[in-house]
Amino acid sequence: MRSCNLKTTIHFEGNALARLAKLEYKKVFIIADPFIVSSGLIKAVTKHLDSAHIEYKVYSDVVPDPTVDKVVSGVTALVREMSPCLIAVGGGSAIDLAKCVRLFAHNHNSDYAPHFIAIPTTSGTGSEVTSFAVITDPKKNIKHALIDDFLLPNEAILDVEMVKSVPASVTADTGLDVLAHALEAYVSTEADYFSDMYAEKATSLCKHYLVRSYNYPKTHENKARDKMHVASCLAGIAFNSVSLGICHSIAHQLGAQFHIPHGRANAIVLPEVIGYNSGISENTFALENPAPCVSKYANMSRRIGLIGYDDIACVKSLAFYIRSMQIEMGMPVSVHEAVPNLTYAEYESKLSAMAEAALLDRCTKTNPRVPSKEDIISILKKIW
């Protein structure tokens, strides 16, 4: 038997943030990205709490790729307040921090389980609907992917007002993260009808709206940002039930070692992983025993309107299309472009440790092809 659970209530379109004025709690603890607070964007959230006379405290000790010590400080602050409701406002970093803070506060006192609402301000991680959280150990340069039902938000609020201020480069990075979630869920060893459906819709929205969203506000395309916000959530639902693959396992290493932003790291790795999983390189014109993921990649390629005369050509189109989107959005396509000060000698000295950590990453378990350490090292060399 298999199960598909969709537990988070999602509020979207229109003035979705108005949901907050209907909360039945008298006191709320908000964990917010510091930019959201300093830019005043937080008022889009707090004005609804004010109108409902709900008391709140805003905590913004959040850093990109939250670390273990930031979780410890957050737990202390939350436990001091013991608010019955916790709201996370920010990108994946703020939401993941809030998830871990809530989990560890609950582990400390099992009676304490605040109602949890996630309000994403980037369109990328889908963290508002997942039981995943990624936490960094800066001493060991490792990113740990935690998976626990208690990390799942009770409610998610998708409001385009919260993503209009996202800079173009962050839109590009986070948008490619959406695509990586959708494609990795689609070829996951656990993929099913439900995850496929969400992944297909998310990928198709990325095809139509990611570059347009990147070009906002030049093009005044509010609509593109709105669609990418939904795409991010759909891809989150897809991977939450069937997990991801080695694109993420490797991207986690690039993030932990060289601080490459999460989505940017995935974008660099994704075309190579499609090649590795499918066994298709530029020079492949026939395959004796194509892996099952070949027809899935090809199917996705056709669904989003790419052209190819057979499955192999469609898979090549998909990988090529991802690279061309990156170039159109001015993104680095290799590690040395992403980290200009890094020397190859330094990179090479970390290959073995990164490959070992990637094999242990929880996302590796559901990759459609079982990788060896040498396979991961070979991918890492190709993306240099």
Positions in the binding site for ligand NAD (CB under 6 A): 33, 35, 64-65, 90-94, 96, 121-122, 124-127, 130, 132-134, 162-163, 165-166, 170, 174, 177, 262-263
- Half-sphere exposure at residue 353, Cβ-oriented, CA atoms within 13 angstroms: 13
List binders of Zn ion among 313-342 (CB under 5 A): none
155 lies in the site for Zn ion, by CB under 5 A:
no
**317 interacts with, out of Zn ion, ligand NAD, none, CB within 5 to 8 A per kind:** none
Nearer residue to ligand NAD within complex by CB, 114 or 126:
126
Q: How far is the CB of 313 from ligand NAD (least distance, A)?
A: 31
Nearer residue to ligand NAD within complex by CB, 8 or 121:
121
Nearer residue to Zn ion within complex by CB, 263 or 275:
263
Nearer residue to Zn ion within complex by CB, 128 or 177:
177
Q: How far is the CB of 291 from Zn ion (least distance, A)?
A: 23
Q: How far is the CB of 285 from ligand NAD (least distance, A)?
A: 35
Q: Cα 228–230–106 angle (5° rounding)? A: 120
The torsion angles phi and psi of 336, rounded to 5 degrees, stand at -70, -25
CA dist 328 and 91 (Å) reads: 24
**200 interacts with, out of Zn ion, ligand NAD, none, CB within 5 to 8 A per kind:** none
- Half-sphere exposure at residue 100, Cβ-oriented, CA atoms within 13 angstroms: 24
Q: Roughly what angle, to the nearest 10 degrees, separates helices 311-328 and 262-278? A: 160
**Could you give the string, one character per residue 176-215, with x where binding to Zn ion holds by CB under 5 A and - elsewhere?**
-x--------------------------------------
Residues in contact with Zn ion, counted by CB under 5 A, come to a total of 1
**163 interacts with, out of Zn ion, ligand NAD, none, CB within 5 to 8 A per kind:** ligand NAD
**96 interacts with, out of Zn ion, ligand NAD, none, CB within 5 to 8 A per kind:** ligand NAD
- Residue 229 one-letter amino acid: H
Burial environment of residue 125 by CB neighbours within 10 A (0 to 12, 13 to 18, 19 or more):
buried
Largest Cα–Cα distance in the chain?
67
Nearer residue to Zn ion within complex by CB, 65 or 177:
177
CA dist 279 and 309 (Å) reads: 18
**166 interacts with, out of Zn ion, ligand NAD, none, CB within 5 to 8 A per kind:** ligand NAD
**159 interacts with, out of Zn ion, ligand NAD, none, CB within 5 to 8 A per kind:** none
Three-state SS for 133?
Answer: strand
**122 interacts with, out of Zn ion, ligand NAD, none, CB within 5 to 8 A per kind:** ligand NAD
Nearer residue to ligand NAD within complex by CB, 221 or 287:
221
Q: How far is the CB of 181 from Zn ion (least distance, A)?
A: 6
Three-state SS for 189?
Answer: coil
Nearer residue to ligand NAD within complex by CB, 64 or 308:
64
DSSP string, 274-285: HHHHHT--TT--
DSSP string, 42-91: THHHHHHHHHTT-EEEEE----SS-BHHHHHHHHHHHHHHT-SEEEEEES
**162 interacts with, out of ligand NAD, Zn ion, none, CB within 5 to 8 A per kind:** ligand NAD
Beta strands in the chain (DSSP E): 9-12, 27-32, 55-59, 85-90, 115-120, 132-137, 142-147, 155-158
Beta strands in 177-244 (DSSP E): none
Q: How far is the CB of 170 from ligand NAD (least distance, A)?
A: 5
Nearer residue to Zn ion within complex by CB, 314 or 379:
379
Sheet containing strand 9-12, edge to edge, reads 9-12, 155-158, 115-120, 85-90, 27-32, 55-59
DSSP string, 346-362: HHHHHHHHHHHHHHHSG
**65 interacts with, out of ligand NAD, Zn ion, none, CB within 5 to 8 A per kind:** ligand NAD
Nearer residue to Zn ion within complex by CB, 99 or 316:
99
**Contact residues: Zn ion, CB under 5 A:** 177
